[in-house]
Amino acid sequence: MVSEHSDDQDDETTALALKILVAGGFGVGKTTLVGAVSEIRPLRTEELLSQAGQLVDDTQGVDQKVTTTVAMDFGRITIRSGLSLYLFGTPGQDRFWFLWDELSQGALGAVVLADTRRLEDCFPAVDYFEHRHIPFVVAVNCFAGARGYGARDVSRALDLDEGTPVVLCDARDRDSGKEVLIRLVEYAGRMHTARLLDSVG
């Protein structure tokens, strides 16, 4: 006899939730991206920038920024029926890097946000994920007034491994952010499948 709740149970067992990190330099738009795409009210751990913080936080190029993430941002987005992404925005400053190892546990992959005005700020995030073999895409947040660069130019400037996707986006726009996340899920899926095949080959 088939339970009348069997369909609900099937939905629950086939539902997939994936953990994604959103990383990058200070003031690049991580909190903005998580907030723009999240279908729930995002959790934010922001504090006002202080005079003491000016000694350690480089605000050049982001002079209007008045808050900073001190732990993480959290949001959720449903990509399609049965597939949800849990988004964890990492803090950008060096002094909070001890949190990255905790946040990266169990992550499918990461989005590294980049600002072409301060491209060097995303080098640490790129290095972090490359050394830990965590699949990532570089998403260039197209700020107003920033000089436009193509994906190939950014890839060369960051010396990315061949095949690492570079996409242009607007972190404020939900559809743009969602496209970045879909690109990451597709890329990470291919990478994990290839590693699995290598391990059994």
Which DSSP string do the residues of 126-165 spell out, in sequence order?
Answer: HHHHHHTT--EEEEEE--TTPPP--HHHHHHHHTPPTT--
Which residues have a Cβ under 8 Å from the Cβ of 57 and sit 6 or more positions away? 26, 49, 68, 93
Q: For 133-153, how does the pLDDT look when each residue is reduced to its tens digit (9 = 90+)?
A: 999 999 999 988 778 899 999
pLDDT at position 55, please?
A: 47
Write the CA distances from 133 to 6, 124, 129, integer angstroms: 39, 14, 6
Q: Cβ atoms within 10 A of the Cβ of 191, count?
A: 18
What per-residue confidence (pLDDT) applies to 85? 97
Confidence class of residue 64 from pLDDT cuts 50, 70 and 90? low
Distance CA 183, CA 96 (A): 28
pLDDT tens-digit profile of 88-125? 998 866 666 778 898 999 999 999 999 999 999 999 99
Percentage of residues of the chain with pLDDT beyond 70: 76
Q: Whole-number mean pLDDT of the chain? A: 83
Q: How far apart are the first and last CA of the chain?
A: 43
Q: Is the pLDDT of residue 61 over 70?
A: no
Calpha distance 60→194 (Å, rounded):
41
Residues ≥6 apart with Cβ < 8 Å to 112: 23, 24, 122, 125, 126, 129, 136, 137, 138, 139
pLDDT band for position 27 (cuts 50, 70, 90):
confident
Q: pLDDT for 165-195, tens place per residue? A: 999 999 999 999 999 999 999 999 999 999 9
Instruction: Tell me the H-state helices in 19-145.
Output: 30-37, 98-104, 123-131
Q: What is the pLDDT of residue 2?
A: 42
CA gap 184, 101 in Å, rounded = 20
Confidence (pLDDT) at 14: 63
**Residue 187: both structure tokens together:** 């890329």
- Contact criterion met (CB below 8 Å) for 91 and 55: no
Phi then psi dihedrals of residue 159, to 5 deg: 55, 50
Q: How far apart are alpha carbons 197 and 201 in whole angstroms?
A: 6
